[in-house]
Structure 1
Amino acid sequence: MRDLNITIEGSWWDTLLYKGKLHALTPEGDWAVFDWDALTSDLEEAIEAAARPALQFSFRASNAISNGTLTRDTVTRAFEQLTVFDFDLSSKKMAKYLLAKSDVSGAFPNTSMNMHYDRMIMSSHNGVHIEYVNSDHIGVHILKKISSVATRQIAAAYGRIACASGDAGLRQLDLNLEHGFKPSESDGLELNSQPCDACDWMYQNISALSYSGGSYLAKFIKTGEFFRPTKTDDTFSDGDGAEIERIKFEENIDLNDGIDDESSEQDHALSWGSHDKIYKVSGSRISAYRFAASGERRLLGHRQLPADASEIVSVRSALFGVIVEFDEAVVVIKGDGTLVDFKGEPVNISTFSRSRRYENQLHLIADDSIQVKSINNKFENEYFLKKAFGSKAPHEWFG
């Protein structure tokens, strides 16, 4: 299947897709909400009917096969019928889909955005802010500060916010979902005082990374106890169930424990974890390891990065593969090991690894546009469930 692209003209800072709405931050500190479902539906209407399921799967509903809306054969045939792989939207046309705009300059410039159980969470050097979002009744939003600790990245799961807070280490904020939307300010719980620039969830654990060196895992245990979030209204986050299991912090361990790496450049290695994988960059080689629920690490494979790759700026993982940002390029290692190189230095990068509708999207934000890329693998191959790079796909994801 081909990778597809939508270029949207305009000045942007960050983006997040959620329940058919595109939430975008502008360089002026505005939070603009666009009707993404309407926009992509109009793009589908502009091409031949037989090819429309390819766009639906790529940009609007990557879960369309697993939920029975589309079949694998229908999507495969639609990609074969496509004759256009790049789509352009002017800023004037984009304005037609604008639903609301709010001033969020208090949290700007933000460092990351997450959605969890209808809570928009933004981190910045001013702290962590939150707002309740009803996707059916979009209006003006007012962010509430829940932490004053400068935060470089957030990752939400299990009703908690993992906070990579730089020199303040790895911290955790509790959303207290069982009490409804009642935000209050707190410094949160310190999980580790070691410097932390990025974080992600690995099962019920939190991985932490410092780009200056050092990676660790905050281990949690499942308690077997569940709570039901109090609904603010009848809408919940994509992929969130009715109950959440309570987890309890246990200890910190080295993320590289149990990894057998014979690289002579190990002292300069950079390691991070996401979902079911651990990745390590040593020199120009990236290695992938399976992280089992038992804690076992098993080598899955290696891949050479471009010879001209410079210093790593950021790393992240998605369902479709691994994204490594360098000074002047963004490299994607797809699930099958294919390497895609996007030249240029982006303003920002967005992925949606915990969504069920947009896991195959990568947003590359430039000074004057967004490149909305749908990164697609051949889903009929068994490797997609056992691939080395990118998160493991749920068994039902492809029907």
Structure 2
Amino acid sequence: MTEDNDFIKKVIIPGVYWDSFIYKKWLILIGMDGTIKSYNWEKIILDEISDSNDSLAYKCAFLQGNNLYGINSRTLILQDKEFKDLLRQKFKRIRDIEISADKLNKYAAYKKEVVLNNLTTDIGIYKDTFYYCNSDGVFCNALNPRNVNYMSKNSKKLWDGNVQNLQVGKYGTIIMSASSDGLFDLTNNDYIIDYDEYDEYYSSFGGKKIEKNIHQISSKHSSYCSWSFSSVFSGSFIDECYLIATKYEIQNDYKKKLGIIKTENDIFETKNENSYVFSNNDKFYRLSTQKIEKVNFYVKDINVNPFKKKEEKNITFEDEIINSAVTDFGLIVETSRHLLVFLSNEEVINIADNDNEEFITWRTFPRSKCYINQIHIVYNDRIEIVSINSDYFVDQNRKFFGNSYHETK
């Protein structure tokens, strides 16, 4: 197990925080007292670059995480050894950054603090709208990058459901895990053309309308959820997992949108009661105490057999598995003692260790364009914004750990 890696860089910000999010050029920090403050992340990083020769690596690490994933860039990285070696040296040369509280305040993008009514259980952002859930329900605040206040002080309540996990998808649709109440989604009214057509789609797999723009996708227990392209995955620590896959059928010359339920047995061809399943876009992983299994998801084959290329690796977890996330740079697994990253190049990083210092929470940004290579880890006295840059050097079509890079729209 590797602990030091030249392609892992950090920005360390001292302070007492509850959670964080990064969006466009803004870093949003939530304090333990419920206050939200935003900072000009782009300027923080650019001001730290003292040598123009290091500019590319700093920008790719912290500002433009998708910059080297283009077809032309990948061809150069994978086929031109001299270019590949040069790029490696650039990433090795850049340093970690520590931002003091006084220095951080220089980049503040607010006049007055925004105070939440309660600490968040999860957050997400889409189209300049900040979404969050807590024990009081699901809320949103408007963001305005052209305004020095940046975030509206007025929170709008969207729903009073007891949501633990939310994921914002395309067109602002939010999927929400509400434990024993089930899995729900909240659709943005601006994108709904035909409500009857939407209701017919949900009925095709047993969903039902709760409010005008809120549907209960399933009444089965849901601990966490994720997007697999336009399909919705629900996982549970006490019940079975499932995928609501989106498919289309031609009926009377009309392309009709339907949903079809895929179970764990459909995905992995077997069922394992003592395992956890996690997904993102084109990969599904099943974690148990002795191994990690992976299945590729081919959405274009949804009407036939979309789950192919099943592989597994024998990996022993001595501690209880708490959580996991699938990113482009690898598979993150939180256990009762460690935060492990199984990198796409098949190195394993122990990125945080509760035996040495307990961490509070962590967050990734798999649906982001610019920050897909980051993981934010919150400790009692600081937040570490970790950039992982080894995935640029990996063939996206052959990796076991981590989903293949896809351009986010």
TM-score of the pair, normalised by structure 1: 0.82
The unaligned stretches of length 5 or more in structure 2 are 1-5, 193-210
Per the alignment, in what secondary structure is the counterpart of residue 385 of structure 1? Answer: coil
After superposition, residues 193-272 of structure 1 pair within 5 angstroms as: 193-221=219-247, 248=257, 250-261=259-270, 266-272=272-278
How large is the RMSD of aligned CA atoms in angstroms? 2.9
Alignment partners' CA distance in 2, 1:198 and 1:396:
22
Query: Which amino acid in 1 is paired with 2:65?
Result: S
CA contact (8 A) 1:221 1:250 kept: yes
- For residues 32 and 117 of structure 1, what CA distance do their matches in structure 2 show? 19
SS in 2 for 1:268: coil
Q: Is the 8 A contact 2:138 2:160 kept in 1?
A: yes
SS of equivalent residue, structure 1 residue 252: strand
1:339 to 341, 348, 352: 348
Structure 1 Cα separation of the partners of residues 147 and 257 of structure 2: 35
> Quick one: distance in 1 between partners of 2:17 and 2:244?
34
Report the counterpart of residue 103 of structure 1 in structure 2. Answer: 114
Call closer, same or farther: CA 1:18–1:67 in 2, change over 3 Å: farther
Correspondence for 1:386:
398
Distance 1:284 1:91, change over 3 A: farther
User: Contact 1:172/1:190 (CA < 8 Å) preserved in 2?
Assistant: yes
* The one of 326, 329, 349 aligned to 1:317: 326
Q: Which residue of 2 aligns with 1:330?
A: 339
Match of 2:12 among 7, 13, 18: 7
How do 1:75-114 and structure 2 match up within 5 A? 77=86, 79-81=88-90, 82-100=92-110, 101-106=112-117, 108-114=118-124
Which one of 131, 134, 137 corresponds to residue 121 of structure 1?
131
Q: 1:394 to 1:324 in 2, by over 3 A?
A: same
Shift of 1:255: 3.5
Using a 3 Å threshold, how does the CA distance of structure 1 residues 178 and 222 change in structure 2: closer, same or farther? same
User: Residue 242 of structure 1 aligns with which residue?
Assistant: none
**Aligned AA for 1:386?**
R
Equivalent in the alignment of 2:201: none
2:65 is matched with 62
Work out whether residues 192 and 252 of structure 1, in 8 Å CA contact, stay in contact via their aligned partners in 2: no
1:250 alignment partner, SS class:
strand
Distance verdict in 2 for CA 1:69–1:16, change over 3 Å: farther
Is the CA contact (8 Å cut-off) linking 2:368 and 2:408 kept in structure 1? no
Among candidates 118, 132, 138, match of residue 142 of structure 2:
132
Where does structure 1 lack aligned partners over 5 or more consecutive residues? 180-184, 225-245
> In the alignment, is the contact (CA less than 8 A) between 1:114 and 1:121 conserved in 2?
yes
Structure with bigger gyration radius? 2
**Deviations 1:74-97, CA, capped at 9 Å, x for gaps:** 786354144353221222221221
Q: TM-score, normalised by structure 2?
A: 0.81
Task: Assess if the C-alpha contact under 8 Å between 2:291 and 2:316 holds in 1.
Answer: no
Percent identity among equivalent residues?
20
Helix, strand or coil at the partner of 1:379: helix
1:19 counterpart letter in structure 2: K
Alpha-carbon offset, residue 322 of structure 1? 1.2
Q: Distance in 2 between matches of 1:88 and 1:21?
A: 17
Q: Which stretch of structure 1 is more off in the superposition, 71-80 or 193-202?
A: 71-80
Separation (CA, whole Å) in 1 of partners of 2:377 and 2:261:
34
Matched, 1:35 2:48: no
For residues 11-62 of structure 1, the C-alpha deviation after alignment (integer angstroms, 9 at most, x for no partner) is 11111111110011111101110110000111223xx322221111000111
Change (3 A) 1:122 1:75: farther
2:121 counterpart letter in structure 1: T
Checking the alignment, whether the CA contact within 8 Å between 1:169 and 1:190 is kept in structure 2 is yes
Corresponding letter in the other structure for 2:156: K
Equivalents in 2 of 1:23, 1:365: separation in Å?
A: 13
Q: For residues 205-263 of structure 1, give each alpha carbon's deviation from its aligned partner in whole angstroms, at most 9, with x where no partner exists.
A: 10001112321112233589xxxxxxxxxxxxxxxxxxxxx99452433144142459x
1 CA distance for matches of 2:247 and 2:408?
Answer: 26
The Cα offsets for residues 328-379 of structure 1, whole Å up to 9 and x where unpaired, read as 2111111122111121242111111111100000111111111111112252
Note closer, same or farther for the CA distance 1:125–1:75 as it changes in structure 2 (3 Å cut).
farther
Query: Residue 21 of structure 2: SS of its match in structure 1?
Result: strand
Within the candidate set 348, 353, 376, 1:363 is matched to 376
Distance verdict in 2 for CA 1:145–1:334, change over 3 Å: same
Q: Equivalent residue of 2:268, what SS?
A: coil
- Please give the alpha-carbon distance, in whole angstroms, between the structure 1 residues aligned to 2:311 and 2:259: 30
